[in-house]
Amino acid sequence: MEVEGGRFPIAEFIQAELSIWRSAVRHTHGDMQMKYLLLIYGDEQAWTEAERAQCYSDSTKLAHQLQSKGQFLATAPLQPVATATTVKVRDGKRFVTDGPFAETREQLGGYFLVDAKNLDEALDIAGRIPGARKGAVEIRPVLEIPGLPTP
């Protein structure tokens, strides 16, 4: 889609792109790989220090394996939930709260951003993430919007 004057009609873009991306979730879209964000959730208190260190080591190994296959884009663990800050804007006013948005037993602990041919391949990668042993991995296809800067 062509960007005019630095802006593009988002409604038309979303309608056009969602039909493409929804069909690509399970199937390869031509030769194009899709980006998937693999969100790792768990109870951060469930890990001993030794288990956490092993998880980081195993995650690093997985990242190198994915990189060797051209699938690795990024990964990182997050600081403990106690370091979180939440921002909301209501009626033009910013509200800042210490802590996460919601009180839950499982917290977002990290992520992998990967290239995968389809959801099945993303599922395979998610099943190899060490955090899935004690928590859960949510898989979300990334919607790429034209005109955004790239690193």
For residues 16 and 151, which has the higher predicted lDDT (pLDDT)?
151
Residue 148's SS3 state is coil
Number of CB atoms found within 10 A of residue 28's CB: 13
Does the pLDDT at position 146 exceed 60?
yes
Least confident piece of the model among 33-37, 56-60, 102-106, 129-133? 102-106
Does the pLDDT at position 37 exceed 80?
yes
pLDDT in tens, 65-111: 999 999 999 999 999 988 999 899 999 999 999 877 666 778 899 99
pLDDT tier for residue 36 given thresholds of 50, 70 and 90: very high
Of 116, 139, 108, 135, whose CA–CA distance to 126 is shortest? 139
CA atoms within 13 A on the CB side of 141: 23
pTM score: 0.76
For residues 131 and 28, which has the higher predicted lDDT (pLDDT)?
131
